[in-house]
């Protein structure tokens, strides 16, 4: 790989049901996604370059592709915190890409990961009742994305609020710490995380990220 290229992931999304949303709710959705991208910049070590596309579409560039599932789940949780009706398609593709020139938006980029992510998004949108989140990888990573998609589609706003605080890479915060941050009881947080299937999600995240770290 050229010195000027790095292996990245591109996540392309599309707000579900945007034509039935009020302009205010659509802005709430994009504000939630943009705020999540700002938080995740620390995870990836650089700006995600959150870019809005075609009214209800959006895209980010992930410098650490091994964190792609973690990022996708964080975006889903951030949206679901706004209400059960808030959701988005998300398609992920990986590959080599150049650094982003100053003043460039993701809408201007045509490297292969950007093209592949956009094409996968169109496939997901054709079969909305099957999957709403996917990875172009058809091996274990893609399978894990499909299962995580199924689990996370059922998150309630209360579950998403709790799980969002648990998704940062590194040491897990205690349920007590999360409860204190949310102004809730520890029992309520534990119930929410159990209902959201968090233990299984966390195991999947650790396995994927540790395996991809070996391959680097």
- β-sheet bridge partners, residue 62: 9
Phi (first) and psi of residue 192, to 5 degrees: -65, -45
Mean pLDDT across 80-104: 93
- The answer to whether 141 and 65 are in contact (CB under 8 A) is no
- Indicate if the pLDDT at residue 202 is higher than 70: yes
Decide if 155 is inside a domain.
yes
Decide if 144 is inside a domain.
yes
Residue 202, token pair as written in the block: 């966390």
In terms of Cβ atoms closer than 10 Å to its own Cβ (0-12, 13-18, 19+), residue 129 is exposed
Mean pLDDT across 122-144: 89
Q: What per-residue confidence (pLDDT) applies to 1?
A: 47
Mean pLDDT across 48-55: 92
- The answer to whether 16 and 70 are in contact (CB under 8 A) is no
Decide if 190 is inside a domain.
yes
CATH number at residue 24: 3.30.70.270
Decide if 1 is inside a domain.
no
Decide if 135 is inside a domain.
yes
Mean pLDDT across 113-137: 92
Q: What per-residue confidence (pLDDT) applies to 180?
A: 97
- Indicate if the pLDDT at residue 181 is higher than 90: yes
State the pairing for strand pair 88-97/133-135: parallel
Name which of 120, 117, 98, 86 is nearest 15 in CA terms.
Answer: 86
- The answer to whether 209 and 70 are in contact (CB under 8 A) is yes
Q: What per-residue confidence (pLDDT) applies to 210?
A: 84
Q: What per-residue confidence (pLDDT) applies to 213?
A: 62
Decide if 197 is inside a domain.
yes
Per-residue DSSP letter, 130: T
* Total count of domains within the chain: 1
- Residue by residue, DSSP assigns 88-116 as EEEEEEEEEEPPPPTT--GGG--SHHHHH
Decide if 19 is inside a domain.
yes
Domain range for 203: 6-215
Evaluate if pTM is beyond 0.85: yes
């Amino acid at each position: 790989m050229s010195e000027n290229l790095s292996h990245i992931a591109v996540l392309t999304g599309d707000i579900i049901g945007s034509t039935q949303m009020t302009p205010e709710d659509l802005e709430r959705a994009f504000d939630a996604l943009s705020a999540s991208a700002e938080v995740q910049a620390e995870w990836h070590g650089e700006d995600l370059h959150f870019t809005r596309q075609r009214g209800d579409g959006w895209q980010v560039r992930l410098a650490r592709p091994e964190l792609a599932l973690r990022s996708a789940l964080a975006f889903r949780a951030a949206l679901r915190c706004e209400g059960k009706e808030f959701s988005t398609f998300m398609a992920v593709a990986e590959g080599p890409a150049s650094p982003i020139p100053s003043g460039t938006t993701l809408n201007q980029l045509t490297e292969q990961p950007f093209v592949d992510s956009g094409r996968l998004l169109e496939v997901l949108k054709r079969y909305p009742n099957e999957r709403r989140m996917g990875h172009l990888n058809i091996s274990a990573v893609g399978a894990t994305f499909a299962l995580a998609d199924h689990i996370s589609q059922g998150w309630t706003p209360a579950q998403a609020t709790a799980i969002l605080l648990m998704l940062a890479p590194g040491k897990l915060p205690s349920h007590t710490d999360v409860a204190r941050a949310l102004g809730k009881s520890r029992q309520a947080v534990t119930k929410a995380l159990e209902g959201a299937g968090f233990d299984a999600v966390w195991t999947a995240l650790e396995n994927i990220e540790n395996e991809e770290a070996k391959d680097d």
